Amino acid sequence: MSRIFSNYVEKAKHILDQNWMGSSTKPAPSLYPHQWNWDSGFIAIGRAHYDTPRAILEIETLFDNQWQNGMVPQIVFNAQSLGHYFPEPDFWQTERSPNAPTGKLTSGITMPPVHAVAVEKIYQNARRPRTVLPFLERIYPKLVALHAYLYRERDPKEEGLVYIRHPWESGIDNSPTWDTPLQRIKVDRGTLPPYQRKDLDHGVDPKMRPSDEDYDRYVYLVDLFRGCSYDEARIAESCPFLVQDSLFNSVLCRANESLAEIAKLIGEPPDQALSWAEKTGAAIRDKLWHPAHRIFDCYDLVSDAPIEVDTSAGFLPLFAGAASREQAEHLYQRLDSASFCALHQGNCFTMPNYDTQLEGFDRANYWRGPVWININWMLAHGLRRYGYAAKADSLQKDLLQLPIRFGFYEYFDSFDGTGYGSDNFSWTAALFIDLVHEFYETEKGSSRIAAKVRSLLSSDLILNSGDQAPEVASDNLAGDLMRCIRVLRDAFYDTKRGLVDYGALRESKQYQQYRVLTNSLREFDLRRLVGRRDKLAFWTNLYNTIVVDGIVSLDIKKSVQEAPEFFSRLKYVIGSHFFSADDIEHGILRGNARPWFHLLHQFGPKDPRKAWILKPVDPRIHFALVCGSRSCAPIDYYETATIYDQLEAAARSFVNSSEVIVLPEQGKVLISEIFRWYGPDFGGRLGVVDFLYDYLADEQTRLYIRENAETIQFEYIYYDWNLNR
């Protein structure tokens, strides 16, 4: 693990320790001095990686305060910390409800039910998962009661969509989505119970918090609830704010999946949870999709109309798997536009909470524009679920840099990353820990696999030794082969997501044709390749395809590291010479360089293959050569005519992805190990600096790089060898 990550994981743990109250964690040192509902879910997800008992206690403490009707309260008040937050138990007066748990101090609303997801993660990440089973048995009926409450009390028409009755229930308090429904609340100061906000006593800038008008309405609603003694039916009759929220329902839908998994683990039937998940998923898909805006909306049950406001909540059905494939593709386009900050184009941090192009977007005001870690964490999981793996990786790495650069803040400026709200914020710390673990776990996993099968491939494997020859002998084998590779690209490579459908490729006619063609390579005369661009395109495409061919031939499941020396043992015979992927890369394309893991040059002094080496080396090839892994270049086909433009685009996109994270505040640049392995191709350390300067999109970052060329420290980002499947 890169040193900087492990240092910051320690810092994050320290924050959680500082915010620990004995049986749960407060969200922030002073601004939020009690236990909050969904905060505890995210906190438990982080703690699950290193402190299972506290992760369990976090959830159990919250559920000890569950209401008789199943509702889990938004806040569990810490009796020792009263007096610094508003509203507290004296204002909520939950004792008016027969459902409120006796002797407990809670609020009278709920929050997005992320808990089942957290519980499943506690189990998955425990060192000895079996020891967690008794906890699962204890918590399962309580989780079921919570979900049952939501469907019973908050979905009167049994649509599969539950409503929230207060903006605080959404977790995104002053989101622009609530402006319209809240406007119908006409506040009469004379009848509104007197109250005093406390949030502004903690040194936060009022411009970054909800307005006084918002607070009046929050208070109006609480007053209405206590007036109804928290009776759901009475509230539903008179409440001016009843909204089917896309965020809340997405979290519920996703949590149902975890609930089903928990059920299976303890031998309970998962059917109820699965049918809830299915019903809510379908309802989100059908009712909340806005076909013109191409994003999910919330639905206002009072005016019986969608709320056409585009916020980050509109992407969260991805987290739940509720979006159709087509909807997901639209969401992806939207996410990749200026509205929500094109991923990695250096213009702003992904993903701000509100469309940056809309009036009312505010980069610093709470839920009206800044970047929040928990929302992005859910989005990254959603993107991965739909196969946008490269983007999910990049997004997660972006999330890692915000706390490192700007501190463990509550939320961040969407343009310059400045941290706002409370520092030492618990879920920022917890989800940072989770993100780091996610990256390094794959590292552990792949080396285990590698160790297990180290003997799998003990001798060379010639991939084009078959008997079949093409039906019609061609005098342009290179051209035919390139065309065939292009056909494979079109049919089986998802160049946008950087993925290959190896399964379908293996079974396809096109792949059989490719293999037959490669047999003819044995008679191919390499002198037929003329011109540098011709050669560059031929060798680059051939390299990329031998890797795919090797993965398919060896039936590699998870990582090319399953087959030790994959890149040197898999070979094509071309003319009468053998060429492995390493020969093509280090011998031909890198001008017979020394591979970073060898003492000698790829081709020895008398090697006849030296006749084909390409010089000078174009370092941009490193962003075009795929290696069947998630961290390497996304696979594509390179045309002779356009190869220079394609290489240029590949380099630009790599340098602006999260494979390069510039941390000016630390004097550090985190970069892909590619720059270490192939440093000489870039002209050494200063060459790398120049290269970054040439390709980085953000002007300020470029200047920083140039002005600090001599002193910047490079740290290398772990290279993810998992298959780009």
β-pair partners for 577: 574
What 3-state DSSP class applies to 668? strand
Q: 565 in helix, strand or coil?
A: coil
Give the residue, chosen from 74, 280, 339, 640, that forms a contact with ligand 2M8 under the rule CB under 6 A: 74
Would you call the peptide bond into 482 cis, given omega within 30 degrees of 0 as the criterion? no
Distance CA 693, CA 705 (A): 6
* Binding residue for ligand 2M8, selected from 88, 153, 155, 173, defined by CB under 6 A: 173
- The dihedrals phi and psi of 389, each to the nearest 5 degrees, come to -65, -40
Dihedral of alpha carbons 473, 479, 480, 481, sign? positive
Binding region for ligand 2M8 (CB under 6 A) out of 31-39, 93-101, 259-267, 302-310: 31-39
- The DSSP element (H or E) to which 98 belongs, if any, is none
Structure letter (DSSP) for residue 417: -
- Catalytic-residue membership of 681: no
Among 36, 567, 572, 704, binds ligand 2M8 (CB under 6 A): 36
How many Å from the N-terminal Cα to the C-terminal Cα in the chain?
24
Q: Which of 8, 38, 151, 695 binds ligand 2M8 (CB under 6 A)?
A: 38
Residue closer to ligand 2M8, measured from CB, 25 or 356 = 25
d(CA 686, CA 664) in angstroms, rounded, equals 17
Is 88 a binding residue for ligand 2M8 by CB under 6 A? The answer is: no
Please give the Cα distance from 380 to 316 (Å, whole number): 10
| Segment near ligand 2M8 (CB under 6 A); pick from 34-42, 114-122, 313-321, 328-336 | 34-42
Taking the complex as a whole, the smallest distance from the CB of residue 216 to ligand 2M8 amounts, in Å, to: 15
Q: Closest CB to ligand 2M8 among 76 and 689?
A: 76
Contact 266, 228 (CB under 8 A): no
Tell me the three state secondary structure of residue 427: helix
From 166-174, 497-505, 557-565, 708-716, span contacting ligand 2M8 (CB under 6 A) = 166-174
Least Cβ distance, residue 271 to ligand 2M8 (angstroms):
32
**Using CB under 6 A, which of 33, 46, 89, 171 touches ligand 2M8?**
171
CB of 38 to ligand 2M8, least distance (A): 6
Q: Which is nearer to ligand 2M8, 198 or 486 (CB)?
A: 198
Query: Measured from the CB atom, is 86 or 718 closer to ligand 2M8?
Result: 86
Which one of residues 92, 168, 315, 538 is an interface residue with ligand 2M8 (CB under 6 A)? 168
Helix (H, G, I), strand (E, B) or coil at 244: strand
By CB under 6 A, residue 582 contacts ligand 2M8: no
Between 114 and 723, CB nearer to ligand 2M8: 114
Question: Do 672 and 660 contact (CB within 8 A), yes or no?
Answer: yes
| Closest CB to ligand 2M8 among residues 38, 514 | 38
Residue-wise DSSP of 8-35: HHHHHHHHHHHHB-SSSB-SSSSSS-SE
Does the protein bind ligand 2M8 through residue 562 (CB under 6 A)? Answer: no
CB of 195 to ligand 2M8, least distance (A): 13
d(CA 432, CA 407): 11
The rounded distance, in Å, linking the Cα atoms of 280 and 274 is 10
Of residues 251-270, those binding ligand 2M8 (CB under 6 A): none
Residue with tokens 């409440």: 239
Per-position DSSP letters for 233-298, written without gaps between them: HHHHHH-S--EE-HHHHHHHHHHHHHHHHHHHHTT---HHHHHHHHHHHHHIIIIIEETTTTEE-E
Q: Which of 153, 159, 245, 410 is catalytic?
A: 410
Alpha-carbon distances of 183 from 187, 224, 360, rounded to whole Å: 9, 16, 16
By the rule CB under 6 A, 32 interacts with ligand 2M8: yes
Query: Count of residues binding ligand 2M8 (CB under 6 A)?
Result: 10
Q: Is 173 a catalytic residue?
A: yes
Asked whether position 27 contacts ligand 2M8 by CB under 6 A, the answer is yes
State the minimum distance, in angstroms, from the CB of residue 81 to ligand 2M8: 14
Q: Could you tell me the CA-to-CA distances from 510 to 93, 139, 243, 351, 472 in Å, in that order?
A: 70, 52, 51, 40, 16
Quote the least distance from Cβ 230 to ligand 2M8, whole Å. 17
Q: Least distance in Å: CB of 250 to ligand 2M8?
A: 15
Q: Which residue, 196 or 455, is less far from ligand 2M8 as judged by CB?
A: 196
Q: How far is the CB of 91 from ligand 2M8 (least distance, A)?
A: 13
Picking from 684, 681, 680, the residue whose alpha carbon sits closest to that of residue 709 is 684
- Residue among 94 and 657 whose Cβ is closer to ligand 2M8: 94
Place of tokens 């959680």: 16
* 204 vs 274 by CB, closer to ligand 2M8: 204
Nearby residues of 151 by Cβ (< 8 Å), 6 or more positions away: 158, 162, 276
Which residues contribute to the site for ligand 2M8 (CB under 6 A)? 27, 32, 36, 38-39, 74, 168, 171, 173, 199
Name the residues annotated as catalytic.
Answer: 173, 410
